[in-house]
Structure 1
Amino acid sequence: MDKIPISVFIIAQDEEQHIARVLDSCQQFSEIILVDSGSSDNTKSIAESKGAKVLHHDWAGYAKQKQYAMSLCKNDWVLNLDADEELTPDLIEAFKHFISSEHDFVALKCRRNDLFIGRFFSKLTRLPTNTRLFKKEHVQYYINNLVHEGPEIKGKLKHTNKFFNHYGYSNIDQLTEKYNKYSTLKAQEKFNKGKKPSLLKLILIYPLEFIRNYFIYRYCFSGFRGFIFANLSAYYALSKEVKLYELSKTSK
């Protein structure tokens, strides 16, 4: 059976808990690149046993690390995944159909299905989207972004409702740790760009973000788990703003 002519690239460090699962889901693709930034666990040996080409690159930040990993890919079509993700058969079929069809799209945006407190969210929930498959010549990561690094797509983008599974939010401790890290980076990024804190945003961001997630994105259909997740997402949004406020007061 011929491999799908897509290069998968993953950046990772100390991901032995997850790495086998994501690589097992990528075996139909012709190339798998893993850029490791200094794992002290079995991430590299597991990845090599799954057929990945493993290279070391000192941590340069999310955007630069992904840009470097993408530059190593030999195929025109590339697929970016995180170590704590997993492709589904339906999404792989969507990828195959997308790259083999005649069209002028340069990227495909898909859905992300998050595991949270032991279960995936209700099928009635509006799943978040991520752009993961694209032609590398039409993509540039946002090098100046410390988090939420892109990619920036130069061309037409198509959407699919097919999803991949994400295990990085599986428990509250894991999710809040990520939110704390990302909110710090995002606040610093905003500060570096000269953005100022807004009193109105500080007051309104939490309730508006909760309403958006719980009602508009329909996490309300996931019971108490959805209520908890909507609150944590709102707190994440607030954290970015209060940390920007803190930076504005302490960095003079």
Structure 2
Amino acid sequence: MMNVTEQTKLPVSVFIVAQNEESNITRLMRSLTHFDEVVVVDSGSTDDTPAIARQHGAKVFHQTWLGFAAQKQWAMEQCKNDWVLNLDADEVVTAEMFKAIAEVIKDANVDAVRFNRNDLFLGKMPPKWMKKPNNVRLYRRAKAKFDTTQKVHESARVDGREIHVKASFDHYGYNDIATLVLKFNHYSSLKAKEKYQRGKRGSLIKLSLICAIEFWRKYLLQRHFTFGVRGFILSILNAHYAFLKEAKLLSESKNK
């Protein structure tokens, strides 16, 4: 990362919710050496996740699973610093992200920061020409709150000024097709229930169009074609994910 002494660690608390992440947690912890505090909230691991986190200096808490948003809200409340950084166990802070954080926290006019995300897929990071997903991950704790009605793709809502920096963090959770399909199946079920509870209803017209729309949005507009065959596969998988969300929403509507 960079040579930072104990006295100059960034005054930022990193918080992570985890369960059975021993295959990922070491890689993440090694990228967090120069942060003042690391908080890991474990929801009941049967592997060595808590022990590995403690070995790397993290404060480990146990909290029975509350749901994605509520669990992250609880984890954030255990942090001591004004600035907090939310990460998943299968992610890594890059040198450019660390440098951006060090600069941003000096700015009194910034309350939240959005970073780009590098999704490793089939053993390769995306090219610089491909449009990347982005997430708000760094914010002032006192101004942030998670919406606990969000069942998936949760993000803190921050009452203040947000900026989007070019720095990226690395994400290893989408590396293989089988894992991505399993996640998309699970997430689509949660998202459909969330949308139904918010009054949304399924549409046959949208269901019939969503695959093609999402595929071309990813492949052309977000430049997945620059990622070769990986980009083509990702575009198809994302189109299928969009279809699943709409199909399950329509199913929720029909079953009530």
Q: Give the 3-state SS of the residue equivalent to 2:60 in structure 1.
A: strand
2:102 counterpart residue number: 96
Within 1, Cα distance between the matches of 2:198 and 2:162? Answer: 27
1:158 matches 2:170: no
1:178 is matched with 183
Is 2:120 the counterpart of 1:111?
Answer: no
| One-letter amino acid of the structure 2 residue matched with residue 243 of structure 1 | K
Q: TM-score, normalised by structure 2?
A: 0.96
In the aligned structure 1, how far is the partner of 2:23 from the partner of 2:187? 21
Provide the secondary structure at the position in 1 that maps to 2:169. Answer: strand
Gaps of 5+ in 1: none
Q: Which residue of 1 aligns with 2:41?
A: 35
The answer to whether 1:191 aligns with 2:196 is yes
Residue 153 of structure 1 and its aligned partner are, at CA, apart by 1.6
Structure 1 vs Structure 2 CA RMSD: 0.8
The yes-or-no answer on 1:246 pairing with 2:251 is: yes
The Cα offsets for residues 92-126 of structure 1, whole Å up to 9 and x where unpaired, read as 0000000023x411001000000001101111101
How far the C-alpha of 1:199 sits from its partner, in A, is 2.1
Distance 2:141 2:179 in 1: 31
Name 1:56's counterpart in structure 2: 62
Q: After the TM superposition, which parts of structure 1 deviate over 4 Å for at least 4 consecutive aligned residues? A: none
What residue is the counterpart of 2:76 in the other structure? 70
Contact 1:20 1:46 in 2 (8 A): yes
SS in 2 for 1:239: helix
Letter of the structure 1 residue corresponding to residue 192 of structure 2 = A
Q: Secondary structure at the residue paired with 2:40?
A: strand
- Rounded to whole Å, the distance in 1 between the matches of 2:54 and 2:68 is 22
For structure 2, the 5+ residue unaligned runs are none
User: Over residues 24-61 of structure 1, what are the superposed CA-to-partner deviations in whole Å (9 max), with x where a residue is unaligned?
Assistant: 10110000000000000000110000100000000000
% identical equivalent positions: 46
> Does the Cα contact within 8 Å between 1:115 and 1:166 map onto a contact in 2?
yes
**SS of residue in 2 equivalent to 1:143:** coil
Structure 1 counterpart of 2:239? 234
**Distance in 2 separating the partners of 1:238 and 1:61:** 24
Give yes or no for contact 1:122–1:219 (8 Å, CA) kept in 2: no
- 2:146 paired residue among 141, 157, 181: 141
1:200 aligns with 2:205: yes
Number of equivalent positions: 250
| Alpha-carbon distance in structure 2 between the residues aligned to 1:169 and 1:183 | 15
Equivalent position SS for 2:127: coil
> What SS does the aligned partner of 1:124 have?
coil
2: CA distance, partners of 1:108 / 1:144: 23
Residue 100 of structure 1 aligns to a residue whose secondary structure is coil
Structure 1 residue 194: deviation in Å? 2.1
- Is residue 9 of structure 1 aligned with residue 8 of structure 2? no
1-side partners of 2:50 and 2:32: how far apart? 16
SS in 2 for 1:104: coil
Matches of 1:212 and 1:77, distance apart in 2: 35
| Stretch moving more, 115-124 or 34-43 | 115-124
Q: CA deviation at 1:201?
A: 1.2
In structure 2, distance between residues paired with 1:115 and 1:204: 28
> What amino acid maps onto 1:43 in structure 2?
T
Which SS does the other structure have where 1:119 is aligned? coil
Match of 2:24 in 1: 18
TM-score normalized by structure 1? 0.98
